[in-house]
Amino acid sequence: MRVAIANDHAATELKFQVKEYLESKGYEVINFGTDTGDSCNYPEFGEAVGKAVVSGEADKGVLICGTGVGISIAANKVKGVRAVVCSEPVTARLSKMHNDSNIVAFGARIVGFETAKAILDAFFDTEYEGGRHQRRIDMIYEIEERQ
């Protein structure tokens, strides 16, 4: 599985830890984020991961900024992205099961590395249930089409 990852300056250290963790699990990680602590603009990185996931360059995405919120908002502007911000693994698991989320986001100022690992494991180890949930995913696609 190919995983697109991106971060802003607030999350560089956690991004490197997450990248190493994902690679240790056998994932190919494509880095779209900054590798320094120099101030930068998270919307560019959120968009880049969103485009990589939607185009098929990556199968899933991981976004990290200070809170996870700003970078996920940017990614969600890309048609076809369903990015979810998580501060614990239950939300990651349920968003995958019910919403077929394709990008997970979290904040380096909110979660530590151990919690980040639990969020990632829940997200990557959970399958979309489909069934009754598909109707709502279809409604999300319809909203996108009307824009």
Name the DSSP letter for residue 52: H
> How does DSSP assign 61-121, residue by residue?
EEEEESSSHHHHHHHHTSTT--EEE-SSHHHHHHHHHHH---EEEEETTT--HHHHHHHHH
- Catalytic residue, candidates 9, 65, 86, 133: 65
Q: Could you tell me the CA-to-CA distances from 1 to 53, 56, 88, 124 in Å, in that order?
A: 12, 11, 23, 10
* Catalytic (active site) residue 133: no
Give the list of residues 6+ apart from residue 144 with CB closer than 8 angstroms, or none.
79, 80
Q: Helix, strand, or coil here: 7?
A: strand
- Catalytic residue, candidates 9, 40, 98, 133: 98
Name the DSSP letter for residue 25: T
Catalytic site residues?
A: 65, 98
